Amino acid sequence: MTLVLDKRISRHYLELVNWATHQLAERDLTPSGTSGDVSLRDPQTGLIYVTGGHIDQPFPKNHFHEFSPQDMAVFEPDGTRITPWSHTTIELPMHLAIYRARPDVHAIVHGHPKWSSVFAIVRRDIPLVLAEQWGNLKGEVKVAKYAPAGEMEMGDFVAEALGDRNAVIMANHGSVTVGPTFGVAFRHAHFLEQIAQKAIFAQLLGDAVTLDPESINAKAFMKGTSGSPE
């Protein structure tokens, strides 16, 4: 059987999602080397490119560094796969749910990093404790209700807890950050780890003092981030 490549599929975006998948390991967001996933939405076609894996490989790949652009999976917005030679992460429903809820989001980074996973384990929100937290993550970071990985309701829980902010914690699982581009989404992932670590250390010293969003000069943190999801 001959497989026909959908003409809407962009080689550039396949390479970009593969690069971002490698970045999960490069940026220490995956303790096992294969946990976590990324995705982007093509603003022109609406197609969603997700971390995947090639179906016909005789031996499984044991680290994200071994992945290639051909391993990435591509979906219609309704979840219909248009790359029959590749499978996708079981967390696809989460990615689809976020894209449905957030038209402004074109890149998603899901990892299992060290410090924010502590909050996932205790199922505790990260409060708004620094002014720059508002500028980067748009406020506190909520913990989504727990559901097993891959379940449809998990996607709904994550999208609900994310709201209009840029980061969310998945109960007993990991974290998700979003943005208009991978560059912004990874920046948010890095900031999330920094603020999680600081919040933990602050609590060790005593009760962390939280901020009221209305006390922050919002204009000082406005960032012009728009464009293609690169």
What are the pLDDT digits (tens) for 68-82?
898 999 999 999 999
In a domain, 230, yes or no: no
In a domain, 2, yes or no: no
Dump pLDDT digits (tens) for 6-61: 889 999 999 999 999 999 999 999 988 788 999 999 999 999 999 987 665 655 66
In a domain, 130, yes or no: yes
In a domain, 6, yes or no: no
pLDDT band at 225 (very low <50, low <70, confident <90, very high): very low
Tokens of 194: 């920094």
Whichever domain contains 139, its CATH number is 3.40.225.10
Give the residue, 214 or 177, on which the prediction is more confident: 177
**pLDDT recorded at residue 55:** 60
Please provide the size of the chain in residues: 230
pLDDT band at 167 (very low <50, low <70, confident <90, very high): very high
**pLDDT recorded at residue 224:** 44
**pLDDT recorded at residue 212:** 86
In a domain, 111, yes or no: yes
> Do residues 84 and 112 lie in contact, with contact meaning Cβ atoms separated by under 8 Å?
no
pLDDT over 90 for what percent of the chain?
A: 71
In a domain, 4, yes or no: no
The top-scoring range by mean pLDDT among 61-70, 178-187, 217-226 is 178-187
Burial group, residue 69, by CB count within 10 angstroms (0-12, 13-18, 19+) = middle
Tokens of 131: 């002014």
What does the mean pLDDT of the chain come to? 90
In a domain, 34, yes or no: yes
User: What's the structural domain count of the chain?
Assistant: 1
Q: How would you classify the pairing of strands 174-179 and 167-170?
A: antiparallel
Dump pLDDT digits (tens) for 102-146: 999 999 999 999 999 999 999 999 999 999 999 999 999 999 999
pTM (two decimals): 0.90
pLDDT over 70 for what percent of the chain?
A: 89
> In terms of residue numbers, what domain contains 104?
11-221
Phi–psi pair at 179, nearest 5 degrees: -175, 175
**pLDDT recorded at residue 222:** 54
In a domain, 139, yes or no: yes
